[in-house]
Amino acid sequence: MSRVLPVLLLTLLLGCAQPQDSDHFAIETQLGTMVVRLYDEQTPGHAENFRKLANEGFYDGTLFHRVIPRFMVQGGDPNSKDGNPMNNGVGSPGYTQPAEIKPELFHKRGAVAAARRPNSPGKASSGSQFYIVVGRQFSDQELDQVEAMFSQRDGAPFKFPPGQREVYKTEGGVPQLDGGYTVFGELVEGFDVLDAISRVDTPNGRGTPTSPVLGDQPLEPIPMVVRPVER
């Protein structure tokens, strides 16, 4: 709790004159600050929903409740404010967001995407939960395997565009998630903070898994404060 309170107190310093229509948002944590840019033109519904929730203070005090190294960090669940870790991962603002999946918006390192339930109709997104891709670099052989998996899944040949393939080889990401979740923004600052969050201790990371709910939850809570910033 001693680490949670200082982050929550940051909300007192935000002031009233914030750029409410900004497309850039700072995510403050005790490990540092990340800045994300929303894709207003490509994913207007998700961008506006994130902006609305952030401006209302909805995200303040929610946790990064799911952390998987070389994969992603996930947060934004209002249940994570209640102190009961068994509730984390299933909360929402009471609605889902229609999917806005675009092939040109892919899961490169730093991509910001909306979480969703596996059986969500139409791949509709959670109303608030999001994740930021940590990922890793992929070889040509590994990308060939992902292409084969997508081709079998879709019943049609699939190939990554050359530029996208190069990004996965050089910058990294999680190509297996492409086409399944809405990517609605990207990290523009704070990649070191993203990496630090991804490396915190979890039961699974320590090799002492407890349950599917608790296994990827940080042993020390990582609350966030989200605020608009000018760019």
The closest alpha carbon to 191, from 148, 139, 135, 129, belongs to: 135
Where do the domains of the chain lie, and which CATH numbers do they carry?
A: 4-8+22-136+179-229 (2.40.100.10), 137-171 (no CATH)
pLDDT confidence bin for 4, thresholds 50/70/90: low
Q: Tokens 């699974």 identify what position?
A: 204
| Cα distance between residue 130 and residue 134, in whole Å | 13
Label residue 20 by pLDDT band (50, 70, 90).
Answer: confident
What local confidence, expressed as pLDDT, does residue 7 receive? Answer: 53
Tell me what the mean pLDDT of segment 81-107 comes to.
Answer: 96
Q: What's the pLDDT at 128?
A: 99
Question: 18 with 226: CB under 8 angstroms?
Answer: no
Mean pLDDT of 105-110: 99
pLDDT band at 212 (very low <50, low <70, confident <90, very high): confident
Order of strands across the sheet that contains 64-68 = 64-68, 72-75, 130-133, 111-114, 183-189, 32-38, 24-29, 225-229
3 state SS of 164: helix
pTM: 0.91
| Three-state DSSP state, 133 | strand
Question: Looking at the predicted structure, is the pLDDT value of residue 13 above 50?
Answer: no
- How many degrees, rounded to 5, is the angle at CA 183 between CA 50 and CA 85? 65
Q: What is the dihedral of CA 41, 15, 220, 75, to 10 degrees?
A: -20
pLDDT band, very low/low/confident/very high, at 3 (cuts 50, 70, 90):
low
User: What pLDDT score was predicted for residue 210?
Assistant: 75
Task: Place 6 in a pLDDT band, splitting at 50, 70 and 90.
Answer: low
Residue 22 CB neighbour total at 10 angstroms: 18
**Backbone phi and psi for residue 168, each to the nearest 5 degrees, phi listed first:** -65, -30
Residue type, 132: I
